[in-house]
Structure 1
Amino acid sequence: MMSTVPTPVQTMVADLLNNFDEGVTIFSVTQNAVKLLPDTHALPPLLTCDGTPHQLARVLDCFARWDGEVRVAVLQDEGLLDVWVI
């Protein structure tokens, strides 16, 4: 069951999403960090969701115990977000 208390990584992702320009942004997520990546070679998505905090938290929860790096691409257009796990 998903916790209602955001994890530090979820908070870092939310802060990132609130502070970037329109267009495609690619970042990596580990258990302890969120890092912006150069906008190169975005792969086709493994899964997609909208950018609402609830949906994004569910996606990040899928990888809460992931022992590696998850790459995420976000497209913001006219205030709407699409999130892709790549």
Structure 2
Amino acid sequence: MPDLVPIRRALVSVSDKTGLIPFVRALVATGVEIISTGGTATALKNAGIKVTPIDSVTGFPEIMGGRVKTLHPKVHGG
């Protein structure tokens, strides 16, 4: 499969964090940068995983009590 593009970044945002840490550790082990939201970012940081908070990418805080985090052109435009 010569046309595969390597994954460099992953946006991780989950409500159920079951199995999250091993999954993200596997991504990080392959060199993937993790971008994450609120509680997910906190869980990853607490597990010792380097995380880029979504608001540092968008330049805007979460809105609507944390329910809206990723609706931003910098996220949707890749």
Q: TM-score, normalised by structure 1?
A: 0.24
Greater relative contact order: 1 or 2 (C-alpha under 8 angstroms, separation 6 or more)?
Answer: 1
Name the structure with the higher strand share.
1
Larger radius of gyration: 2
Q: TM-score, normalised by structure 2?
A: 0.25
